[in-house]
Structure 1
Amino acid sequence: MEALSFMVVSGFLGAGKTTTMIALAEHMNKTFGETAIIANDLGANLVDTNLTQTSGCTVTEIANGCICYQMDNVVDQLRRLRDKDNAVFVMSDIPGCGVGALDHVYHTLARDHAEEFKLAPFTVIVDPERLRMIMPEKADINLPEELVYLLQLQLEEADAVVLNKCDLLTPEEQERYVDFLKTAVPDVPVLCISARERTGIEALADFITTNTTALKNFSVRNNHEFELAEAKLTWYNRRMFMKTLDEGKIDMNAVADDVIEEIRMGLIEKKRNVPHLKTFATSGNGDFNKASLIGVDYDIEYEQKFLRDHKNMRMIINARAVCESRVLARIVDDAIDEVCERYDLDCQIFFTECFGMADEGR
């Protein structure tokens, strides 16, 4: 039996890992063979899983912890995708603050399952806005210095670096960003794409299917500094159902937008930030709204908006915030209450979790 190809996709919060994996899977399903995606994060009820399912790609989920520490589960999922779904190529992301999958995942698979799995290049996605934090201009985008350390580590870990969102750059800017990356991580290939516009995807697919990992040795230089960076972040996940009290149809795009705006304003009031907030809302029949925010100073980005008015919607919120867990929980609760009152909505909460990596008892 031919070995199943597997690739880990790393990258900072909001870099576009999921959108990149979807674009790759859609292309590779037509040109290479059945390609599947594993959505991974520290919490449950993931926006990324729901978004990937709307694309028609084969997707499974490994939640409640990074794949680095669930290797038996990873191997089981890979075998299932191979045997049940006939996948020939599988890619998985890791949480946006994640570092260490090269050691924990790649080296483990190479050591214990070399005949089963072929390891494609360990690929790190970066976006221009976050990259400016470590470029000569040292841009201040209101994130703690500890998180800059995480971005630097992720680049060092890469077999290949992919500069995403190139549609937002001029040709001159793109050349400058690429030149910086080639200096920052010499001997590591740099590719440019726009996952949203589907440009550069063919070249990226060719690269990852014709190359393998260098399987280099990589470890976190300073465990204390890494722990300090992780401690800055709080994970928040909520799944809920919202409906109009009079059962009339309204613009649910406005509702979703206002939920994000109220969370933004709450964070600004508390002088906190959110490196990545994602929402996914659906009312069935294929109509959905997917939005994201990469900081309180940025505009909301939409993958898709509702095409028509609805009287209800199911909504998932995933937030990765630079904010204490108790404070963030209160901000989101207040935002939901405000929006429900504004639009005369009833809201049923089915699932909520909010935790910081340094929270006592975690």
Structure 2
Amino acid sequence: MPQQMKFVLVGGFLGAGKTTTISRLARDAMKLGLKVGIVTNDQAQDLVDTNNLRSQGFDVGEVAGACFCCKFDDLVGTVEKLDRDNAPDIILAEPVGSCTDLVATVIQPLKQLYDARFEIAPYAVILKPSQGRKILKNEPGSGFSPKAAYILEKQLEEADVILINRVDELTAAELQELETLLAARYPQTPRLRISARTGEGFEALEEFLNQSGDFGRRILDIDYDIYADGEAELGWLNSSVQVNSAKPFALDELLLDLIGRLKETLAAEGLEPAHLKAIGLWEGFFGVANLVASTMTPELSLPSKCQVKEVDLVVNARVACDPEQLTRLVYDAVTKTCAAFGATATFGSTQSFRPGRPMPTHRMSLAK
């Protein structure tokens, strides 16, 4: 009989820090001699996170075209391929950031249909402080409607543990406020403080995830009409671009310029980004820049520290706006950024749309 794999699902809203958390968990597990497989998930192809993780040397499979719940068989098939190729001890899975109801549609189906293959870890959901605080306080200015906020609230409701991320950037008062808000709203759910960027709190997180037990039992009472409407408010764009220049340019500076330009462009239009990401890849080099909220500063999360004349650029944008408008704004920002660096942009595949209504393959109304 094949060995049982530990299945670790790490959820959270767009821009919460799921990819950075998963990459750190993967590196720590590999240091212990464990083999790790990662499964990423997106509504479309050309996902920055997949390119990012593969560029770091991880064994990554991707489920594209819909969330795990609607592509459950593809999720299982992707894990099976990772198993055939590398026989991982641990599967780390990152769902779409606008997805919820994952206990009923992913975790419970895995437990009930594939019990012999998977040991289910506690379901961890990462809180994005910048927008999470405003949503939990019902405070205006989060940039998202109540229907979109409903998704974040439901994500937290079904968690086995809530992770307060970016603690290295929060004051003691801000942390205490988040703790108080979460304790009032989700009193039965444990909370851990982490920084995916620095590794703070990861020893406690890994100890929590390594527990054995009956996890993933918080099946939601959820209104799929509100859920679907909340997802549909987000414009979703994935675009691949070939960037060429006669003279070398600093890749990291171009990535930061692009994300900063997009931030300013969206602000001028009164639009709130849920997450902006850009990765540049060329001959073994890669750099990643991102922005997780309009109130934040663009961040070079993975520097390349290299000069290039050409690069494969992938841009992902999740913004509360019309997809056609988002496409126009991204094309304009990429073109202007490249021109500022003496480069030209040749656009390849671009997918821009609103997510469709979630239609889960399975939905288990009772926990095993």
| TM-score, scaled to structure 2 | 0.90
Stretch moving more, 184-193 or 264-273: 264-273
Q: Equivalent pairs: percent with the same residue?
A: 27
1:2 is matched with 3
1:348 is matched with 346
Deviation sequence 1:301-334 (CA, Å, 0-9, x none): 1112231322111110001110101111111122
Structure 1 residue 58: Cα displacement? 2.1
1:143 is matched with 144
Q: Which residue identity does 2:290 align to in structure 1?
A: S
2:271 is matched with 272
Structure 1 residue 117: Cα displacement? 1.1
Deviation sequence 1:231-258 (CA, Å, 0-9, x none): 21011001111011xx211223332223
Note if contact 2:250-2:305 (Cα within 8 Å) is conserved in structure 1.
no
Structure 1 residue 53: Cα displacement? 1.8
2:321 is matched with 323
Structure 1 residue 182: Cα displacement? 2.7
Q: How many residues align?
A: 356
Q: Which runs of 4+ in 1 moved over 6 A?
A: none
1:57 is matched with 58
Q: Where in structure 2 are the equivalents of 1:1-362 lying within 5 Å?
A: 1-31=2-32, 33-136=34-137, 138=139, 140-244=141-245, 247-285=246-284, 287-357=285-355
Q: Could you tell me how far apart the structure 1 residues matched to 2:270 and 2:90 are?
A: 43
Q: Which residue identity does 2:11 align to in structure 1?
A: S
Structure 1 residue 268: Cα displacement? 2.4
Note if contact 2:280-2:313 (Cα within 8 Å) is conserved in structure 1.
yes
Q: Could you tell me how far apart the structure 1 residues matched to 2:176 and 2:293 are?
A: 25
Q: Could you tell me how far apart the structure 2 residues matched to 1:195 and 1:269 are?
A: 31
Q: Could you tell me how far apart the structure 1 residues matched to 2:264 and 2:99 are?
A: 28
Structure 1 residue 138: Cα displacement? 2.6
Deviation sequence 1:89-111 (CA, Å, 0-9, x none): 10111111101221111111122
| TM-score, scaled to structure 1 | 0.92
Stretch moving more, 231-240 or 64-73: 64-73
Note if contact 1:238-1:316 (Cα within 8 Å) is conserved in structure 2.
yes
Note if contact 1:159-1:213 (Cα within 8 Å) is conserved in structure 2.
no
Note if contact 2:120-2:215 (Cα within 8 Å) is conserved in structure 1.
no
Unaligned stretches of 5+ residues in structure 2: 358-368
2:365 is matched with none
Q: Could you tell me how far apart the structure 2 residues matched to 1:148 and 1:70 are?
A: 24
Q: Which residue identity does 1:349 align to in structure 2?
A: F
Question: Relative contact order (alpha carbons < 8 A, sep ≥ 6): 1 or 2 greater?
Answer: 2
Q: Could you tell me how far apart the structure 1 residues matched to 2:65 and 2:137 are?
A: 37
Deviation sequence 1:168-205 (CA, Å, 0-9, x none): 12344334422432332122221111110011112211
Q: Could you tell me how far apart the structure 2 residues matched to 1:46 and 1:107 are?
A: 27
Q: Could you tell me how far apart the structure 2 residues matched to 1:308 and 1:69 are?
A: 40
Q: Could you tell me how far apart the structure 2 residues matched to 1:32 and 1:172 are?
A: 39
Note if contact 1:263-1:331 (Cα within 8 Å) is conserved in structure 2.
yes
Stretch moving more, 254-263 or 290-299: 254-263
Q: Specify the SS of the correspondent of 1:67.
A: coil
Note if contact 1:27-1:201 (Cα within 8 Å) is conserved in structure 2.
no
Note if contact 1:153-1:220 (Cα within 8 Å) is conserved in structure 2.
no
Note if contact 1:132-1:139 (Cα within 8 Å) is conserved in structure 2.
no
Structure 2 vs 1, CA of residues 220 and 357 (structure 1 numbering), >3 Å: closer, same or farther? farther
Q: Could you tell me how far apart the structure 2 residues matched to 1:164 and 1:66 are?
A: 23
Q: Specify the SS of the correspondent of 1:210.
A: coil
Note if contact 2:147-2:229 (Cα within 8 Å) is conserved in structure 1.
yes
Stretch moving more, 247-256 or 39-48: 247-256
